Amino acid sequence: MEIRVLRYFLTIAREGSITNAANFLHITQPTLSRQIHNLEEELGQQLFVRGSHSMTLTPAGMILRKRAEEIVSMTDKTEAEFNSMVNSIRGDIYIGGGETDAIKLIAQIAKDLRENYPCIRYHLYSGNSEDVTERLDKGLLDFGILIQPANITKYDYINIPAKDTWGVIMRKDSPLAKKKSIKKEDLLGVPLICSRQAIAQEQSENEFTEWFGKDFHKLDIITTFNLIYNAAIMVDAGIGYAITIDKIANTAENSSLCFRPLNPRLDSGLNIIWKKNQVFSSAAELFLQKLREHFNQ
């Protein structure tokens, strides 16, 4: 007996006629009649009493209905269990990146994915591009989020549809806070707290040094940082002004700090990268698939 034919049999028993069952199953009446006739021959028993417009079960048919319901139910349960095993993707995904508001986009993908795959765990590492690529090359990360410009020629990547805006974080009672934006000349002669990415040695790979131009060496950089949290504390203490990107430090109305963008405006794009020919875990492979779907790449 085929499971498919048992399903046909149960449908006729439920619907009460070949016509209704054929319509429900989306097959022709002759095909359905032939399948039931073959089943009766295989079992050597008549299963239905056929009327002009209805079909009712014989005693043998009633016995088969009980057994068929058990068989079909067990088949469905077994298939569901094996599908669950296939779909129970679990594992760890390691993501590194600089501080950026774009992490919200990644977080939303992780949240959506976790609703269907609750056994996936995420591990986040914060650092500048050098830190992230080093850990990526060593296999300690699956993915890295880099703020452009960065050398990504040896990696596969997806462009993140977001921009980070550069500017200055300062106390709200500082002189520069009265300005709507910060020009190059405003930064000369004031103590600066700069992200290490903002003062990278190679100007060809650094937008801020290029933005400032030939007088970059005149800046009074008293502190460098790789994470804004501690830098913001130093700004709040009145030590200096922090060159960084927007939306990663608390500059809300209830904060003592504020952000002013650079003028002319300086924006940086972002990439999420991974090693070429990387062999991913099933969890990381699924995450990459969702990244591509979300960002249409």
Per-residue model confidence as pLDDT tens digits over 78-130: 776 666 555 568 888 999 998 888 899 999 999 999 888 888 899 999 888 88
Q: Please tell me the distance from the alpha carbon of residue 81 to that of residue 86, in angstroms, as a whole number.
A: 9
Mean pLDDT (whole number) for 188-198? 86
Contact call for residues 286 and 166 (beta carbons, < 8 A): no
Mean pLDDT of the chain: 89
Q: Is 177 exposed, middle or buried (0-12, 13-18, 19+ CB in 10 A)?
A: middle
> Contact 200/224 with Cβ under 8 angstroms?
no
CA 7 from chain center: how many Å? 40
Once rounded to an integer, what is the mean pLDDT over residues 134-141? 90
* pLDDT over 80 at 149, yes or no: no
User: What is the residue whose two structure tokens read 């699924």?
Assistant: 286
Q: What is the pLDDT of residue 192?
A: 96
Task: Look at residue 234 and give its three-state secondary structure.
Answer: helix
Full DSSP string of 179-200: SSSB-HHHHTTSEEEEEGGGG-
Give the span between the Cα atoms of 284 and 286, in whole angstroms.
5
Residue 207: per-residue pLDDT: 76
Over residues 12-37, the pLDDT tens digits come to: 999 999 999 999 999 999 999 999 99
Token pair of 77 as six digits: 């349960």
> What's the confidence (pLDDT) of residue 86?
57
Per-residue pLDDT at 203 exceeds 70? no
Integer Cα distance of 269 and 292 in angstroms? 17
Higher pLDDT, 180 or 295: 180
> What percentage of residues in the chain have a pLDDT greater than 70?
93
* Cis ω for the linkage preceding 261 (within 30 of 0): no
Residues in the chain, total: 297
Contact indicator for 226, 147 with CB cutoff of 8 Å: no
Cα 269 from chain centroid?
19
Least confident among 158-162, 171-175, 236-240:
158-162
Residue 274: is its pLDDT beyond 80? yes
- Give pLDDT, residue 184: 94
Instruction: Say if residue 204's pLDDT is above 60.
Output: no
Phi, psi of 73, deg, nearest 5: -60, -45
The count of other CB atoms within 10 Å of the CB of residue 94 is 19
The per-residue pLDDT for 297 is 54
User: Looking at residues 255-283, what average pLDDT do you find?
Assistant: 93
Environment class of 68 (CB within 10 Å of its CB; exposed 0-12, middle 13-18, buried 19+):
buried
pTM of the model: 0.66
* Average pLDDT over every residue of 235-239: 96
